[in-house]
Structure 1
Amino acid sequence: MKNIVKDYLPKAALILLIFSIICGLFYTLAITGIAQLLFPDKANGSIVEVNGKKYGCELLAQQFNDEKHMWGRIMNVDTETFTDKDGRPVMYASPSNLTPAGETKGKKTDEKRMKELVADRVAMIKKANPEQAGKKVPVDLVTCSGSGLDPGISVAAAKYQIPRLARTTGKSEKEIQKIVDKYTTHKFLGIFGEENVNVLKVNLALEGILKS
């Protein structure tokens, strides 16, 4: 037994050291270097930076709820849009046990609660966009994504807000449509996925920070 330990332990330790250096150091440096060379923006977090100032990550949503900006989907961290009857904030997009099938003791069913939340959101969207009276509110403006941090909305949801933005920003609908078109990601190969409008980039363009 002593001979086995004496013969193989140094070799095993040496192999461990070699592969630790190769996989833990050289491989990591190589992959990081290649990423920085070929995809510097993505490798550094897809940060939207203009003139040295960072405005956020284009892959993560930000909360916009004033009439001069385009609104995105409901966020996981939204605690201000809704409150319960006691005035306490409701984290509408956060993980919860609210399901159409569930029910809490002495309270409304989860299905009713969810319908109330969506109805409140629809009312808020319609109030902010009176130009679209009689038109259906795009579903992604009243629901959250799986992560609750989706940075984009559908083209229909973006177009729904164009008349309001024209009214509040002083830009023409044609100018705003141009901005929406510029920051729309189209289907991959024209087939896969859905068209998606990046809300943060549109709002930065509306402010004149990004090119329109």
Structure 2
Amino acid sequence: MSFAREANRAVRSTLVLWVITAIAYPLIMIAFGQVVFPFQANGSLLKNAKGDVVGSALIGQPFTSDKYFNSRPSTTSYSTADPGKDKDGKPLDTAGVLSTGVSGASNLAPSNPALLDRIKGKSDPDPSKAIEGDLPRLQKAGVKPTADLVYTSGSSLDPHITPDGAAAQIARVAKTRGLQPNQLEDLIKQNTDGRFLGIFGEPGVNVLKLNLALDALKPAS
């Protein structure tokens, strides 16, 4: 068999495999995802009552307002853009701002002064250098600190808090919104994700989903 014939066969085989693996297979997987898993395939995007996309169920957002369940701390502030100001010139809550995707942990040791300052706070004669720690802030709001409300996640983009972390905020949210605590307890249960396949990981509450449901909740009559 001639070299030219062998080379021609090799070239044709390469082209066929390239079409199958680089074009046909990806297109089939995209079509399969859009038909069978459209929500996941398009980024697990969540919408508010108006139908506007406010974020992804996979990426956390920095909720800090007393009328919302707060997220866990983030070393990257969840990588959000400046939310701007409302018509009265007041800063908007950062809820609803899509993350830019920057991720990373602080890698600070438990004994690092910078980590202790962020958690416990730091007083200074110069107000611009003072730091309000997460622990005093939670205690001031009447929230019993849990580990996930004080420490950041490895990615700093974790969208979940623990059920205990959500339950610790019930009194504050209920008081701010004029709701009954049992309404919020039911809401947390409805928005708690169980273990993957029932055995992997721990139950978690998606903060964005919970707060969207919270906005739709009406005070008990």
- Sort the Cα spacing of 1:9 and 1:190 in 2 relative to 1 into closer, same or farther, 3 A: closer
CA distance in 1, matches of 2:24, 2:104: 40
> Which digits, 9 at most, give the CA deviation of each residue in 1:55-109, with x for residues without a partner?
2100100111110011111124229xxxxxxxxxxxxx95446335xxxxxxxxx
Q: Match for residue 125 of structure 2? A: none
CA RMSD in angstroms, aligned pairs only: 2.3
Task: Name the TM-score, length of structure 2 as normaliser.
Answer: 0.74
2:108 to 86, 98, 104: 98
Q: Match for residue 104 of structure 1? A: none
How many residue pairs match? The answer is 180
> Which digits, 9 at most, give the CA deviation of each residue in 1:27-48, with x for residues without a partner?
1121112211211111111111
Displacement of 1:189 after TM fit?
Answer: 5.0
CA distance in 2, matches of 1:49, 1:12: 51
- Sort the Cα spacing of 1:199 and 1:96 in 2 relative to 1 into closer, same or farther, 3 A: closer
Q: What residue identity is the alignment partner of 1:45?
A: G
CA distance in 2, matches of 1:160, 1:117: 20
Task: Name the TM-score, length of structure 1 as normaliser.
Answer: 0.77
- Sort the Cα spacing of 1:190 and 1:127 in 2 relative to 1 into closer, same or farther, 3 A: same
Q: Match for residue 152 of structure 1? A: 160
**Are 1:70 and 1:203, in contact at CA under 8 Å, matched by a contact in 2?**
yes
CA distance in 1, matches of 2:74, 2:107: 17
1:201 to 209, 212, 217: 209
Bigger radius of gyration, 1 or 2? Answer: 1
Displacement of 1:113 after TM fit?
Answer: 2.5
For structure 1, the 5+ residue unaligned runs are: 80-92, 101-109
Q: Match for residue 57 of structure 1? A: 56
> Could you say what secondary structure the match of 1:22 adopts?
helix
Q: Match for residue 112 of structure 1? A: 113
Displacement of 1:10 after TM fit?
Answer: 2.1
**Are 2:104 and 2:154, in contact at CA under 8 Å, matched by a contact in 1?**
no
Q: Match for residue 23 of structure 2? A: 25
